[in-house]
Amino acid sequence: MKHKPLGGRVTAVALVGLLLASCGTIEKDKRALGLQAATAAYQSALRWGYFETAYGYLHPDQRKDKSKDLPPVFTDLRVAGYEVVQPPLMQNPGEAVQVVTIDYLYEDRQVVKTITDRQTWTYDTKLDSWWLSSGIPQFQ
């Protein structure tokens, strides 16, 4: 009885293992890039007054009355500054937390206020996107 060398089998098993591991890494990197893009776009939308766009980062189930109408808190709101205090940190593969400070004012009051917003972002595998699950900042 002839014995076949194990080298080919071991190499094949090792390659399959590496491929499976790299697929997980690619998916993780894809999600991280998606999160980075979502948080940056949300920041830009708030900072430049595109509140409809910023509001669109809330999951549709969280929007009041499931409509696209903006809440009254955005009326006459102007964001003067937006600083990331803590960049997004993955809590688990489907959730990340970011902390920002936002300087804002209402045009009719002209008093600058600052709030700290602890944002929770959740990944929706069905929609393949990140949603701001912590809600809109508590502007007053």
Q: What are the backbone dihedrals phi and psi of residue 5, each rounded to the nearest 5 degrees, phi first?
A: -65, 140
Compute CA distances 125 → 24, 27, 29, whole Å. 15, 11, 15
In the chain, beta strands by DSSP E: 77-92, 95-106, 113-124, 129-132
- What distance lies between CA 65 and its chain's CA centroid? 23
- Expressed in percent and rounded to 5, the helix, strand and coil fractions of the chain are 40, 30, 30
Q: What are the backbone dihedrals phi and psi of residue 88, each rounded to the nearest 5 degrees, phi first?
A: -55, 130
Give the integer Cα–Cα distance in Å for 55 and 46. Answer: 9
Digitized pLDDT (tens) for each residue of the chain, 140 residues in all:
555 555 556 555 555 554 454 445 666 688 999 999 999 999 999 999 999 999 999 987 887 665 567 889 999 999 999 999 999 999 888 999 999 999 999 999 989 999 999 999 999 999 899 999 999 999 98
